[in-house]
Amino acid sequence: MSRLEEYLSFYTSKGTKKNYRSFLRKYFLTLWTGEYDEKGKPIDFSLDDEIEQYFQEERDYDADMRKFYVSVKDYAPKTTKVW
């Protein structure tokens, strides 16, 4: 079982799982340094792989969170409250 699936297994609500997966995807895409196609979609992005790599690296978690919150500062307040 992947870290993501293990984490989500603590929740029973499909809506909660969907929201958390969406948040994590946005978070890791904010930090992702890979390539994008002509439509702006990430090429070869795997959320499971990114999560594994993230925890294997020495990261500045505070800086990563600040970068993420700057990237979503203009989102609707109810959207960011869910996250």
pLDDT tens track for 38-66: 998 899 999 999 999 999 999 999 999 99
- Is the model's pLDDT at 83 over the cut of 70? no
The per-residue pLDDT of the chain, averaged, comes to 90
Question: Residue 54 class from Cβ within 10 Å (0-12 exposed, 13-18 middle, 19+ buried)?
Answer: middle
Evaluate whether 11 touches 21 at the Cβ level (below 8 Å): no
d(CA 21, CA 24): 5
Evaluate whether 27 touches 19 at the Cβ level (below 8 Å): no
Global pTM? 0.81
pLDDT of residue 75: 74
